[in-house]
Amino acid sequence: MGWPQAPVPVRTPATSANLGPGFDSLGLALALHDDVEVAVTGDATEIEVDGEGAEVAGRGERHLIVTTLRAGFERIAELGGSGPGQPKGVRLRCRNRIPHSRGLGSSSAAIIAGLVAARALHPDGSVLDDDEVLRLATEIEGHPDNVAPCLAGGLTVAWTAPDGPRLVRLESRIDQVVAFVPEQRLATERARGLLPETVPHADAAANAGRSALLVAALTAGLDGVLLDATEDRLHQDYRAPAMPDSAALVARLRDAGVPAVISGAGPTVLAFTTASQVDSMELEVGNGWHEHPLQVAVRGAHVVAGEPPVRP
């Protein structure tokens, strides 16, 4: 059986990881989406990008979605798929809305998009089930906290068991947040490089309690405890020197009673509130921030039925 002729359109949500105390475990899918369209061809790889990441469209086979797509085809073969092998070329069209290198899961969205497209395109793609997608995506990304909500949608708790990464999807009763996105970027590797090898036991214990409280608050809609529940001692203060403006904005918001955290590795700030509430407080956010009121995305990455979302 050969490759399908029709392109596959895939939609992936932005994500926010950590959510304060849930370092490398908690994640939330957000209704800010990238749309990609993937087809296999008999010619060289072609890439068109509209929006974020347009500057890397010329990477060809080194583009993250393309390398992930091919990794997906390879894993399908390893799992027993007997399809046509690797295609000669790939045609990729992207409409990217998720800001890059801002802590909103753009790389996880690209990875999940590539794997979901591989599963849809390959004749034996069904062997790449969601557990295998999570496993391979975690291998590529390095940790499951962003790829889990991108794949499953909603609120997720992710962890790594002896046999690989796992996730639990939960329904968040908090359905709106506000993301404050700065102009400047911050590489995740740089942010991770600022973390210490060890932390005080008291800080670890405090974060364990806050993480449990945060899951309870988000799933039960307990707005009144969110400020306490989003307190973090494990990563945000250590990373503050790399994003002083973000750290200062988190402090201002929290001083005003708004539950605010660094989104993922930053520098975006995520506030568990609404834009109208922020405006009503007449809080001085400062210049250089793009304010994005966002809904929680209840659906994770998926093939878009009907009209393809990406036009040539």
Annotated binding site for ATP: 99-109
Give the DSSP H/E element, type plus range, for residue 96: strand 89-96
* Residue 147 near residue 141, CB atoms below 8 Å: yes
Burial 116-153 (b: 16+ CB within 10 A, else e): bbbbbbbebbebbeeebbbbbbbebbebbbbbbbbbbb
Sequence-separated (6 or more) residues with CB below 8 Å from residue 193: none
* Residue 194 near residue 241, CB atoms below 8 Å: yes
Reference 56, options 89, 94, 88; nearest CA is 94
Tokens of 99: 């800001």
Q: How far apart are CA 235 and CA 213, in angstroms?
A: 18
In the annotated binding site, the residues are 99-109
Does a cis peptide bond (omega within 30 degrees of 0) precede residue 267?
Answer: yes
Give the DSSP H/E element, type plus range, for residue 239: helix 236-239
